[in-house]
Structure 1
């Protein structure tokens, strides 16, 4: 498997418990330039969500794939940054002014995880807008396998040209590579994964806990992609 460029940040482990207990931030921010989402779903065995409240906290950039660096959810009001200080979040490419679009969250969407036959050692995340108005799948899903404090690496090279906006009933996708380069780390079985969804300002809007397909194992050196408008883009990395 080729090495992919991802961003790294080290944040304090003690902030996790406080971060997961906070309530939702008020108001939705203005959305970035948008891209229509596809509606095709993969043929795969999937599991549904059990949502838990983790609103109002900023999410970190993920560690670089292939390294054991610990990544934690930061405290309220702090964005991703190497020193833990308030850092203005990145904006998506080709950002344009647009009407305010709420983030897709466990309250207005449904998230599921599916096994796929190709590529090997991959899973597929699918988020479906179950509300009555549009929602935006911002950035990437922040993953925590089996409740770990460290969040899974995010593949920066998978950043789309525009944020994926979903009409009611539409879907967005993210690919999960479970393993890094062969022989680096021993894969560890995992039963569940927490999927943290964020708004335009990279603030947590809730976490959905999913049961993983049987025999799922990760060595911590894989990655998750940004949200994509179709399955092919999500699984091409």
Structure 2
């Protein structure tokens, strides 16, 4: 192989990918067998197998037990709007996470006290082991799992107050800004960092992905006068959604 030349398995995967993208191999079509790939491209069984693995890792094909490998339906990505503007008072958690007007999704949640891990403690500016309230969410759009969120709030701020449980009490489900305001904590800043990584097995099981699928992770932290009052990881399937940010110009 000369400098700059692709390995054989990538050349095979590239040609099969092109056929999938241009419709020559439409969704639900069975991918050529390993033997067929070997004969058509003049490659070894090992190269044919590695090419199929590449397409699987990219989420273009999926294996069906006892049947073979098939081209997956390619979802049309939908937009999840993020905004620098505060959500309106009383906004529900789904509306808070997706700033688009008309976001009317449903969600499930559960809260539990736990000691802060080293990473969570660092984000909240508390000591590892300090008590925090962890809340996990599954957000659904038209019944389809759209995103996951895990948030942590220091109980040194919310403990023994009416807003200790984010989804219960008089302000349950109202969002961080309004809930904190009710205990005289004025949220004045929010920071979001967006990254991507392979989805964890339990995340993909909930979101409906397959092993190897990439997720976007929004690491969000709310601040009041420089003090972190809530931090969260929001997980979104990268193949089904796009993040769109609307930020105010000052």
- Give the TM-score, by structure 2 length: 0.25
- Give the TM-score, by structure 1 length: 0.26
User: Which of these two proteins has the greater Rg computed from alpha carbons?
Assistant: 2
Q: Whose helix proportion is higher, 1 or 2? A: 2
Q: Whose strand proportion is higher, 1 or 2? A: 2
Higher relative contact order (CA 8 A, sep 6+): 1
